Amino acid sequence: MQSTLAGKSYSYLREKLTRGEFPAGTQLVNRALAQEIGVSLAPIREAINRLAEEGLVKQVPGAGAFVRDISREDLEETYIVREAVEGCAAAEAARNIRVREIEELEDICRRWLELARAIRRQPDKMATAEQASAWADMDEHFHAVLVAASHNRLLEKIVREGRLLSRIFKATRNVPEVIALRGAAWTWREHVLMVRAIKNRDPDRARDLMVRSITRGRRSVMESLKREQDNTIRE
């Protein structure tokens, strides 16, 4: 029962972090959070310890737990690690994936295509805020299924933490999910090719496609941050 409540508390706090509701430096007060979630103090402490292990929270002796300030350097380093680790996970998935997992990945790609077509129907060929949110959710789902299909728990843990760090950075720094039709089409195509490589049991091809996808994402995010910084300087 205790572990279930700790899991509930962890999921609640993680969701608040990924939505940007806890800015960097926010103190996580155990008693207030316990009351807010409806649990005792022990599950809150366990959840915060888990977030600290993942590098999302900093525990200061005698002061408490605070939401960590994730820098651009942290983000870039995270993307570099993700390229290596998620590439490895894709290769392992090509070796170990099961039929039902392939079917789930193919279903996500079909829904991705439907969303890309909906973006194409927009007058400016840009995703609405709702469509961008749905796109991000599908991206998380796709990668969660793929990494789970590697059947390597350590890989799954490292990938989950790296992707979570990226999402929290973008949420706390107001980095928008800007999705244009061209980018949507490219992403859909790359993931279809990835699923095909995994289905064909081709680990080298699966790894290369995953690394290429993450590298493109890193470049896009860092360029967006640079533009934002340049605009701030000009103002």
For residue 196, pLDDT over 90 is answered with yes
Quick one: 222 exposed, middle or buried, by C-beta within 10 A (0-12, 13-18, 19+)? middle
Res 15: pLDDT: 85
CATH number at residue 51: 1.10.10.10
Same domain, 12 and 41: yes
19 neighbors 29 (Cβ within 8 angstroms): no
- DSSP lists the bridge partners of residue 126 as 180
Res 153: pLDDT: 92
Same domain, 175 and 208: yes
Tell me which of 45, 67, 89 is where a domain ends: 67
pTM of the model: 0.79
Q: Which of 12-16, 59-63, 92-96, 219-223 has the highest mean pLDDT?
A: 92-96
Give the span between the Cα atoms of 135 and 108, in whole angstroms. Answer: 10
Q: Which two tokens stand for residue 128?
A: 């609405």
Same domain, 173 and 192: yes
Tell me which of 67, 86, 118 is where a domain ends: 67
Same domain, 108 and 157: yes
Q: pLDDT tens digit string along 42-80?
A: 999 999 999 888 888 889 988 899 988 877 888 888 889
Res 214: pLDDT: 92
- DSSP lists the bridge partners of residue 28 as 65
CATH number at residue 105: 1.20.120.530
For residue 19, pLDDT over 70 is answered with yes
pLDDT confidence tier of residue 112, bands split at 50, 70 and 90? very high
Same domain, 61 and 90: no
Same domain, 92 and 44: no
Same domain, 172 and 147: yes
Same domain, 52 and 89: no
pLDDT confidence tier of residue 1, bands split at 50, 70 and 90? very low
Same domain, 44 and 147: no
Same domain, 141 and 177: yes
Tell me which of 17, 49, 67 is where a domain ends: 67
Percent of the chain at pLDDT > 70 equals 91
Residue 60 has phi, psi (to 5 degrees) of: -105, 115
206 neighbors 193 (Cβ within 8 angstroms): no
Give the span between the Cα atoms of 226 and 31, in whole angstroms. Answer: 39
Same domain, 46 and 119: no
Q: pLDDT tens digit string along 124-154?
A: 999 998 898 888 889 989 999 999 999 999 9
Mean local confidence (pLDDT), 161-183? 74
Task: Please state, in angstroms and as integers, the Cα–Cα distance from residue 87 to each residue in 77, 109, 164, following that order.
Answer: 15, 19, 17
Res 157: pLDDT: 87
User: Where in the sequence is the domain holding 17, given as residue range(s)?
Assistant: 2-67
Q: How many domains does the chain have?
A: 2
Average pLDDT across the chain, whole number: 88
Same domain, 30 and 53: yes
Res 150: pLDDT: 96
